[in-house]
Structure 1
Amino acid sequence: METQKTVYSYHPQTGEYLGSSQATLSPMDPKEFWLVPAFATEQEPPQPGERQIAVYDNQTWMLHADWREVPLWSKADARQISAIIGDTPDSLNATELQPPAFAAWRGDAWGVDSAAQSAAQAVAARRQVQERLTAAYQNRRPLEDAAELGMASSFELSRLEDWKRYCVQLSRVELLPMWPKLEEEDWPRQPI
């Protein structure tokens, strides 16, 4: 007489197969009454294929799609999304292909959204202009104070003129033909 029987456990919410264990005969009724743990069944689950999982539902095992461990990106907005049991890339309108920066889905592959890329580059360039102007004004202020008080030397007046010229050049970088794709050598040179 058997004293143990294999049973198959499943998750209480999702029903996904968790593994097998052994049920034992009841000490109160050792004539074939098995103590099967909660959320377990004597029915053996089917063998899942690639990206599938066995799920116990309505007293039976079924195979469902399982893309939970695969990184997926939405074709609509290029954000990474998480699948749940039963989801597929098609049902989520997603792809396994990782998008580049400023991605736009173009039929069967990612492309670059040039307008979004240019807009982001313009925002970054304007932020850099502002940062450089802020630093320039901090350098100018003591020289301007000295000039207003009549205390500036000819060297300080020359430096003040250099800083003012630099600020004007910074304020005009948006007029450069390569805007907003500026390389370091495209920026006005900061006075020494």
Structure 2
Amino acid sequence: MPDITTRLHADATPTAPALVLRPWSPADAAGLAVLRGDEALRRWTSFSVEDVPSAARWLREQRRGWDEGHRFAFAVEEVDPSGTGGPPAGHVVLKDVAPGAGSAEVGYWTVARARGRGIAPRALRALTDWAFTTFAGDGLTRLGLRHQGDNTASCRVAGKSGYELAAVLSPNPPAHPVQGHLHVRHRAATPR
């Protein structure tokens, strides 16, 4: 079972700094509360932080997932050449992990300043590689990624991360009020 000190890395590219993926911490509450005005985040995700107290609740939920061993959420930070990270540029999560289950789900979001810069695919690939390595002994061979069907940016991120479109999903209110897409990646698959 991974512990709360787990850190993942994505190397720098010629046009983007390295990334560090680290578990969220209580110190992130104020920075999360600032995101309440991010309309794209509200439109495409279930992120429901309104203020510092609701951010603290959200962070406790992320910690509880680690403690219970079924949800592993990471803050994504860009790291400068000195190794110093900045405020979180995004979030990736491995969820619905269960011993003996062959599949789980991933999710992600990025803050406005990080969109369109290749951060989401790099972070998602790092999370995916970690998930398949860490949970191989538990039988994990398949990861799914769901998003709203009209979210073309998420389709691009999925493709860049080696997740193939597997199904168009019918609306299922209230959790999924509009048509969605399911992308899938298998452990043996190689990202593009």
TM-score (norm 1): 0.19
RCO higher in structure (CA 8 A, sep ≥6): 2
TM-score normalised per structure 2: 0.19
Q: Whose Rg is larger?
A: 1
